[in-house]
Structure 1
Amino acid sequence: MKILHYALGFPPERTGGLVKYSLDLMNEQVSQGHEVVMVFPGRVNFLKKEPYFKFGKRQNIPYAELVNSLPLPLIGNIKNPQDFMKHTDPKIFVNLLESEKPDVIHIHTLMGLYGEFLEEAKKHNIKIVFTTHDYFGISPHPKMYLAGHDFVDDKKYDIWNNIRPYGSKTIKLRTNQLSIYPALRSLVKNIKKTSISLDSLPERINLTTKVDSDFQRLKKYYINMLQYIDVIHFNSSIAKKVYEQFLPNMQWKSSTVGIASNNIYKSGEIRVAEKTIKSIAYIGPYTEEKGFFDYLSLSTKFIAKDSGNKAFIMGDNSSVNYDGVINLGRYSKSSLIKNLKTIDLVILPSKWHETFGLIALEVLSSGTKVLITKKMGVKDIVPENLQVDNISNFSNNINSIKMEQINIPSMQLHTKKIFELYDTTY
């Protein structure tokens, strides 16, 4: 089978769970004897106005880089919605589809993608599968969460009418599509490390019910794109619930399949030995929506409870000055396993309706306990006794957590399920 993936691209230009998962899936598909091509929104060429493709191969994956894609809101929010729904000549997509002749198109994000691409795929009768890595498309913000406010649970305020004050000018968003961006990002991080404290909590702007007609048009633009999807791959019951809540009339075929990773240390049946919790850790970006500040508050109580208790954080290069908390910074697969040997419990206190949360499986596969909030999609796999509504008052009960046996899927098994999804009749 030949699969054409549309994803965000390759490291170091692109980072995050979506990038890691899509590449893991592609590499596994290649290893199983299938043909793969990745289309991704690439650089900006200011000398040419129209989009075009540049072809090549990276990390063993053939690619078609969409130069002059629509803007990517990766480093900020959308401020000028009209820049995100421009039309282009569909001929470049016709040429791509007729030269590559894919059996399936697997969409991992709508960012940077022209609507004409999906229109032409439908005209060519190519099956289109969409994975719900986040909520971009049904929301102008991938997490549907702004400054401490979760719009999924909000029946009064529409995020599309409230995103503009948080937005960045399109020219700023375009900087991450410059060829020098990875080097520039590294230089800035080395020169000036971001310092994070409880004072870093984002300030919320007063919400409004006033309709922002420009953003409502953008909302219709993305919903129209989603109507071309044949099969939707919900990566969790959380993602399924949110998409169906905001798009109740969609008539697509769907399947709920949790995701996997090549970072999983050991798959299959996993059981963690019981032991007293003397060290805890947070893993992920040091951001409010991930529950980072809730973890810092809990860690204070945990450290104060016993002089031998330790609290760690890892996953971000930002500087954190917080009494007693040990900052391990960014990690690799090998350093993660090494660090986890000194940690008894990892706490993932996500506050947004996280579509999955792959780090939970990666940690459990190493033999370390994990405590998650029930807003995380990975709860479909993590035992119920390792799930809480809120961690803020949990410090006194940490040692009451009992570990159950868990079945962690391998990337090979996951890929098999994805091919079953590709074969779904529609």
Structure 2
Amino acid sequence: MKILHYALGFPPERTGGLVKYSLDLMKEQVGQGHEVVMVFPGRVSFLKKEPYFKFGKRQNIPYAELVNSLPLPLIGNIKNPQDFMKHTDPKIFVNLLESEKPDVIHIHTLMGLYGEFLEEAKKHNIKIVFTTHDYFGISPHPKMYLAGHDFVDDKKYDIWNNIRPYGSKTIKLRISQLSIYPVLRTLVKKLKKSSTLVDDLPEQVGWSTEIDSGFQELKKYYLSMLKCVDIVHFNSSVSKKVYEQFLPLMTWKTVTLSISSNNIEKFGKISLFAKPIESIAYIGPYNKEKGFFEFLKFAAEFISKDSNNKAFIMGDNGTIQISGINNLGTYNKQSLINNLKLIDLVILPSKWHETFGLIALEALSTGTKVAVLKTMGVSDVVPEEMRSSTVKTIDIETIAKSNFNICILPMSSHEEQIMKIYVD
């Protein structure tokens, strides 16, 4: 089968779970003998204004880099919505589709994508599959979470009418599409201090009900793109619930299917045994939306209960020091495995309706217990006793006394499930 993926691109220019998953899936498909091409929003050309494709191959994956794509809100929010819904000559996409002749197009994000691409794919009767890695498209912010406020649960205020004051000029957002961006990002991270540990700011209140016509037009633009989709692959029941809440009239076919990763240590049946919990850990960016501050409060209470209790944080390169908590910093696959040997329970207290949370599977696959909030998609996978409504209600004693068995599918099995979606 010939599969054309649209994703964010390759490391080091692009990072994160979407990038990792899409590349793992493509590599597995290539290994199974399928033809794969990745289209991704690429660099900005200072010599030519119109979009065009630059072809090549990286990590054994043929690619078509969309130079001069629409802007990418990767390092800030949208401020000027008109810049994100510009039209272009569809001929560039007609030429790509007629030269590549894909059997299916798998969309992993709408960021940077011109509506004409999907419109032409529909005209060519090519099946379009969309995986819900985040909420960009039904929200101008991928997490639908802004200034400490979760708009998923908000029946009164529309995030589209409230994001403009938090937006960045488009020229700033374009920085992520410069060839030197990975270097700039590394420099910024090295200079980053403990600003994330400023006293937890209160949630923003007093949102507006006034219609922002520019952003409502952008909302319609993305809706027209989503209407071109044939099948939606929800990566969790959480993402399915949110999408159907905000798009109740959509008539597309849907499949709910947990995702996988090549970063997972062990597959198949994983046994999690009863044992005292004397060490807990947080894994992820040290920010509010991931529930970092809630973990710090929980950890302080946990440490105070017993002199043997310890708490760890990892996943961020912020040079921070917190009394009584060990900062393990960033990690790779091997250092994660080594770090988890020190830990009895990982706590993932994400405050947004996270569509999945691959790090939970990666930790579970080492035999480490993981407690998650019910608003995280990965809660589909973990046992009920390890799901909580809030961080405060995590029951460590019950988790410690319990034995659990879970099953984690390898990427090869997940790839087979995805291929079935393509031919459905």
2:366 alignment counterpart: 366
1:319 alignment counterpart: 319
Alpha-carbon distance in 2 for matches of 1:226, 1:394:
37
Alpha-carbon distance in 1 for matches of 2:146, 2:220:
21
User: 1:335, CA displacement in angstroms?
Assistant: 0.5
1:231 alignment counterpart: 231
After superposition, give the CA deviation of every residue in 1:47-80 in whole Å (9 maximum; x if it has no partner).
Answer: 2110100011111111000000000000111000
Is 1:59–2:54 an aligned residue pair? no
Alpha-carbon distance in 1 for matches of 2:145, 2:298:
22
- CA gap of 1:202–1:105, structure 2 versus 1, over 3 A, is farther
Contact 1:295–1:392 under 8 Å retained in 2: no
Is 1:179–2:187 an aligned residue pair? no
2:145 alignment counterpart: 145
Contact 1:356–1:378 under 8 Å retained in 2: yes
Alpha-carbon distance in 2 for matches of 1:187, 1:389:
38
1:120 alignment counterpart: 120
Alpha-carbon distance in 2 for matches of 1:397, 1:167:
44
Alpha-carbon distance in 1 for matches of 2:237, 2:130:
15
Alpha-carbon distance in 2 for matches of 1:161, 1:396:
41
After superposition, give the CA deviation of every residue in 1:256-293 in whole Å (9 maximum; x if it has no partner).
Answer: 01000001111111111221111100011112111111
Contact 1:148–1:204 under 8 Å retained in 2: yes
- Structure 1 gaps of 5+ residues are none
Alpha-carbon distance in 2 for matches of 1:198, 1:302:
22
Look up the equivalent residue of 2:131 and give its one-letter code. T
2:195 alignment counterpart: 195
- Structure 2 gaps of 5+ residues are none
User: Where do 1:44-123 residues align within 5 Å?
Assistant: 44-123=44-123
Contact 1:85–1:114 under 8 Å retained in 2: yes
- CA gap of 1:148–1:387, structure 2 versus 1, over 3 A, is same
1:280 alignment counterpart: 280
1:168 alignment counterpart: 168
Alpha-carbon distance in 2 for matches of 1:322, 1:239:
34
User: Where do 1:410-421 residues align within 5 Å?
Assistant: 410-421=410-421
Contact 1:298–1:395 under 8 Å retained in 2: no
Contact 2:347–2:371 under 8 Å retained in 1: yes
Alpha-carbon distance in 2 for matches of 1:181, 1:349:
30
User: 1:402, CA displacement in angstroms?
Assistant: 1.9
After superposition, give the CA deviation of every residue in 1:135-159 in whole Å (9 maximum; x if it has no partner).
Answer: 0000000011111111111100000
Contact 1:271–1:406 under 8 Å retained in 2: yes
After superposition, give the CA deviation of every residue in 1:334-387 in whole Å (9 maximum; x if it has no partner).
Answer: 110010011000000111111111111110000100000000111111111110
Query: Helix, strand or coil: the match of 1:355?
Result: coil
Percent sequence identity is: 73
After superposition, give the CA deviation of every residue in 1:105-157 in whole Å (9 maximum; x if it has no partner).
Answer: 00000000000000010111100000000000000000111111111111000
The range that moved more, 197-206 or 120-129, is: 197-206
Query: Helix, strand or coil: the match of 1:271?
Result: strand
Contact 2:386–2:394 under 8 Å retained in 1: no
Look up the equivalent residue of 2:68 and give its one-letter code. N
User: 1:392, CA displacement in angstroms?
Assistant: 2.5
Query: Helix, strand or coil: the match of 1:47?
Result: coil
* TM-score (normalised: structure 1): 0.97
1:300 alignment counterpart: 300
Query: Helix, strand or coil: the match of 1:92?
Result: helix
Contact 2:363–2:370 under 8 Å retained in 1: yes
Query: Helix, strand or coil: the match of 1:405?
Result: strand
The range that moved more, 180-189 or 372-381, is: 180-189
The range that moved more, 38-47 or 318-327, is: 318-327
Contact 2:79–2:166 under 8 Å retained in 1: yes
User: Where do 1:338-377 residues align within 5 Å?
Assistant: 338-377=338-377
Query: Helix, strand or coil: the match of 1:328?
Result: strand
